[in-house]
């Protein structure tokens, strides 16, 4: 299962709006022995988000964020982003009307598809629904 950045961020901060469900979902996936996958894009997004203040929390230190990144890379299967992902991204953007920040979600979908992954754990189901039957959304709160 591919783990979206928002699940990791919510699990990191006790003050985050979805902290408890994020922790519970990650623990559930871990117990299921299903591979937990991320991409280098997710690592970059995570670093970007946790090192700036949020409305519900302050930022973590750069060192803590980098330690988190090391743990993510060690504990998750990292799906690489290369030429096949770029080709799929361009094809997706031709088929699904996206632009601006939505390209980041399209790249996650392209990464998943390039690696044969169809399941996405996210709290951001609204932005991923546009990919229809290409992926299966696993809502972060089962709802």
Q: Kindly report, residue by residue over 24-70, the tens digit of the pLDDT.
A: 999 998 899 899 999 999 999 999 999 999 898 899 999 999 999 99
- Sheet containing 119-122: order of strands: 77-79, 37-39, 2-3, 119-122, 136-139
Number of domains in the chain: 1
Whether the predicted pLDDT of 142 surpasses 50? no
Q: What is the pTM of this model?
A: 0.93
Q: pLDDT digits over 59-87, tens only?
A: 999 999 999 999 999 999 999 999 999 99
Retrieve residue 30's tokens: 């871990």
Q: pLDDT digits over 88-128, tens only?
A: 999 999 999 999 999 999 999 999 999 999 999 999 999 99
Q: Is residue 109 a contact partner of residue 81, using CB atoms and an 8 Å limit? A: no
Whether the predicted pLDDT of 16 surpasses 90? yes
Residue 141, pLDDT score = 59
Q: Provide the sign of the torsion angle of the four alpha carbons 28, 70, 10, 108, taken in this order.
A: negative
Residue 98's Cβ-count burial label (10 Å; 0-12, 13-18, 19+) is: buried
Q: What is the average per-residue pLDDT within 4-23?
A: 95
**CATH of residue 96:** 3.40.50.1010
Q: Domain of 119? A: 2-139
């Amino acid at each position: 299962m591919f783990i979206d950045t928002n699940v990791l961020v919510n699990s990191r901060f006790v003050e985050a709006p979805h902290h408890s469900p994020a922790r519970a979902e990650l623990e559930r996936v871990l117990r299921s022995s299903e591979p937990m996958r991320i991409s280098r894009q997710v690592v970059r997004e995570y670093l970007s988000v946790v090192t700036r203040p949020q409305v519900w929390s302050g930022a973590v230190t750069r060192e803590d964020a980098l330690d988190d990144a090391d743990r993510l890379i060690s504990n998750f299967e990292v799906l690489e982003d290369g030429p096949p992902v770029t080709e799929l991204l361009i094809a997706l953007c031709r088929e699904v009307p996206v632009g601006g920040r939505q390209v980041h979600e399209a790249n996650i979908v392209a990464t998943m598809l390039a690696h044969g992954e169809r399941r996405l754990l996210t709290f951001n189901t609204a932005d991923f629904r546009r990919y229809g039957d290409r992926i299966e959304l696993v809502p972060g709160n089962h709802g």
